[in-house]
Amino acid sequence: MSLTEKTDVLVIGSGFGGAIPAYNLAAGGAKVTILERGPELGAADFTQSLEIGGYTRIVDLIQGNGIQVVAGNCVGGSSVVYFAASLRAPSFVFNRRGSTDHRLWPRAISRRTLDPWYDRVEETLPVAHQTWDDVPYAGGLFAAACRNAGHTCNPVPLAVDLDRCTNCNWMLNGCRFDAKRSMLLNYLPAARAHGAEVRPLHEVQLITKALTPGYRYQVDYTVVNPNDYRIPAGVGSIEAKIVIVAAGTMGTPVILRRSAATLGKIPGAVGKYFSPNGDRVSMAVMDERRIRDVLRLEREPGVAYDAFPIGKPIGSMSYDYLNGQLPEFERFGLQQIYFPAITNILPEDGTPGAPDWFGVDKKLLAKKWRSWLTLLALTEDDNEGKWGALPPTGNFIRVASSAVISSLSYHPNAHTLRGFAASDAALRAIVEKDGLGQHLDWTGGQPVLSAHPLASCRMGDDPATSALTADHQLRGHPGLFVTDGSAVPTSLTVNPSLTIAALAERASPGIAAAARAVGISVVGDVPPPGR
């Protein structure tokens, strides 16, 4: 008999994709263990500073080839550091084909079939609907500029307790006021209340076949040093009857590809078809005088806007280009966003010719920093990303706290570039109408910057281009499920967390059924946390 630890359901990662099935299975009666690579922090631990040792403990800035990705590294995953914009994907997204000849989403999933799961997540987080009084200056300015250009713009629904929110704009660092409704405040405590065990600083390396009869998989992990995640502090293994991989889009394909040697053949789509959710960051430098004269906006007498760092990061969004009648790759959402780390990097200086990263124009641009408006277009990309060589351990090579190098490469093709060009033109028309401001491209060291990685282990009906079946099971590996952003097949034209969460809710009863089939006593129909 093996002396390896045992559990019914082992969950890798504690973000939306991990916490949601962990709750549902624990509440249903299963013994659930969650292994989470990052540390566990709460409101009192979060800092309001960009100094190294603060947010860098819980956020990874991942450098790939052609792309930089931002992701969470802590209990609660990216939900702890995210900006909480909570939107349902439009219906047309589920019919996307990209440059293939077939629908990329499984037939079983449409906006209509996902709506009940969206409902359940919105109730649980919960999601609040901002009025214009809740929207910060930057969001109001973007909305007024949209109206001036003949476009609509709406306040964005947020998973934020608006009564607790102080508009401090430090969401990237974790919320000190417990206003942001991250997994730390709903699914994870509810899972723990049903006996689930969360183990921080446990980095999963490998999944192999279990030796003990009745157990399918063995998961090997390294315990990492809390002060330097590169230093191992121990190793261990757990056998489980069901494994749920939810290490995030940047982690799940790496763990699975490393495990191919021990698990046997894994689907070819693992580690391919990555999507940055079509994220296209750009910047506008606003002319305070024109804002006052044209838009009639004043933050206070004599100050039109001048409010770059004030408020919640995401306030408003135009849905005008989310029109299912438009051709694929020409539909996008346009959003006002604020991203503290972005202020360390500068946009193009707006003058033709090199260098675009230094010089007098750049200095002048920095001087107007408080009048910058950061903008995000959420476009349709063509899933062009793929992983290269496996790192020796973990998901990537960690060179310092928060600074990591991944073998992910992403080079947008002509389809994606068409969407980028169309969204750039739409934003330029809004921002530059009547001389309100100057729309500037991004030059952040990497051409694409994304906080919304998706699709690196995607679901679908076609085994050649998807790794998971419609019930989130890895093809050829019964009892091994993937429920995080990596399962989402395509970019969404809106921020992805609500869709990841709804899919994880939808997957949970099926995982419970698979658990029952291997002798775990668990029900699949449990009330949402807190009800």
Ligand X SMILES: Cc1cc2nc3c(=O)[nH]c(=O)nc-3n(C[C@H](O)[C@H](O)[C@H](O)COP(=O)(O)OP(=O)(O)OC[C@H]3O[C@@H](n4cnc5c(N)ncnc54)[C@H](O)[C@@H]3O)c2cc1C
Site string for ligand X, 411-450 (x = CB under 6 A): ----------------------------------------
User: CA nearest 239: which of 512, 515, 8, 21?
Assistant: 8
| 7, 383, 395, 491: which one binds ligand X (CB under 6 A) | 395
- Asked if residues 4 and 239 have their Cβ atoms less than 8 Å apart, the reply is yes
| 279, 287, 306, 484: which one binds ligand X (CB under 6 A) | 484
Question: With binding defined as CB under 6 A, does residue 125 bind ligand X?
Answer: no
Question: With binding defined as CB under 6 A, does residue 81 bind ligand X?
Answer: yes
| 25, 84, 210, 243: which one binds ligand X (CB under 6 A) | 84
Shortest Cβ 497–ligand X spacing (Å) = 3
Identity of the residue, 104 or 498, whose beta carbon is nearer to ligand X in the bound complex: 498
Stretch that binds ligand X, among 225-233, 246-254, 291-299, 366-374 (CB under 6 A): 246-254
Identity of the residue, 359 or 510, whose beta carbon is nearer to ligand X in the bound complex: 510
Question: With binding defined as CB under 6 A, does residue 404 bind ligand X?
Answer: no
Question: With binding defined as CB under 6 A, does residue 502 bind ligand X?
Answer: no
Within 10 A of 411 (CB to CB), how many other CB atoms are there? 13
| 157, 174, 248, 276: which one binds ligand X (CB under 6 A) | 248
Which residue(s) pair with 472 in the sheet? Answer: none
Shortest Cβ 441–ligand X spacing (Å) = 21
Stretch that binds ligand X, among 1-9, 71-79, 105-113, 425-433 (CB under 6 A): 71-79
Identity of the residue, 312 or 418, whose beta carbon is nearer to ligand X in the bound complex: 312
What φ, ψ does residue 61 adopt, rounded to 5°? Answer: -100, 105
As to burial, measured by CB atoms within 10 angstroms (0-12 exposed, 13-18 middle, 19+ buried), residue 485 is: buried
Cα dihedral 13, 483, 335, 329 sign: positive
Q: Pinpoint the alpha helices (H) of 178-221.
A: 187-193
- Using DSSP's 3-state secondary structure scheme, residue 416 falls into helix
- Asked if residues 12 and 247 have their Cβ atoms less than 8 Å apart, the reply is yes
- Asked if residues 307 and 136 have their Cβ atoms less than 8 Å apart, the reply is yes
| 93, 373, 449, 451: which one binds ligand X (CB under 6 A) | 451
| 27, 67, 70, 128: which one binds ligand X (CB under 6 A) | 70
Question: With binding defined as CB under 6 A, does residue 38 bind ligand X?
Answer: yes
Question: With binding defined as CB under 6 A, does residue 73 bind ligand X?
Answer: yes
| Cα→Cα distances 377→21, 262, 314, 425, 516, Å | 31, 41, 13, 11, 44
- Asked if residues 21 and 508 have their Cβ atoms less than 8 Å apart, the reply is yes
| 219, 314, 365, 375: which one binds ligand X (CB under 6 A) | 314
Stretch that binds ligand X, among 81-89, 187-195, 279-287, 471-479 (CB under 6 A): 81-89
What φ, ψ does residue 496 adopt, rounded to 5°? Answer: -90, -10
Question: With binding defined as CB under 6 A, does residue 14 bind ligand X?
Answer: yes
As to burial, measured by CB atoms within 10 angstroms (0-12 exposed, 13-18 middle, 19+ buried), residue 264 is: exposed
As to burial, measured by CB atoms within 10 angstroms (0-12 exposed, 13-18 middle, 19+ buried), residue 65 is: middle
Question: With binding defined as CB under 6 A, does residue 251 bind ligand X?
Answer: yes
Shortest Cβ 71–ligand X spacing (Å) = 5
Question: With binding defined as CB under 6 A, does residue 489 bind ligand X?
Answer: no
Question: With binding defined as CB under 6 A, does residue 203 bind ligand X?
Answer: yes
| CB crowding 88-120: b at 16 or more within 10 Å, else e | bbbebbbebebeeeebbbbeebebeebeebbeb
* CA–CA separation, 106 and 503 (whole Å): 12
Stretch that binds ligand X, among 34-42, 185-193, 408-416, 434-442 (CB under 6 A): 34-42
Stretch that binds ligand X, among 79-87, 208-216, 402-410, 522-530 (CB under 6 A): 79-87
User: CA nearest 200: which of 75, 290, 302, 45?
Assistant: 75
Expressed in angstroms, the distance from the first to the final Cα of the chain is 42
Identity of the residue, 350 or 510, whose beta carbon is nearer to ligand X in the bound complex: 510
Identity of the residue, 58 or 304, whose beta carbon is nearer to ligand X in the bound complex: 58
Question: With binding defined as CB under 6 A, does residue 17 bind ligand X?
Answer: yes
Question: With binding defined as CB under 6 A, does residue 13 bind ligand X?
Answer: yes
| Cα→Cα distances 284→13, 432, 439, 489, Å | 37, 9, 4, 31
Shortest Cβ 124–ligand X spacing (Å) = 15
What φ, ψ does residue 240 adopt, rounded to 5°? Answer: -140, 155
Shortest Cβ 514–ligand X spacing (Å) = 20
Which chain residues interact with ligand X by CB under 6 A?
12-18, 35-38, 70-73, 77-79, 81-85, 172, 203-204, 246-249, 251, 255, 314, 394-395, 451-452, 484-485, 495-498, 500
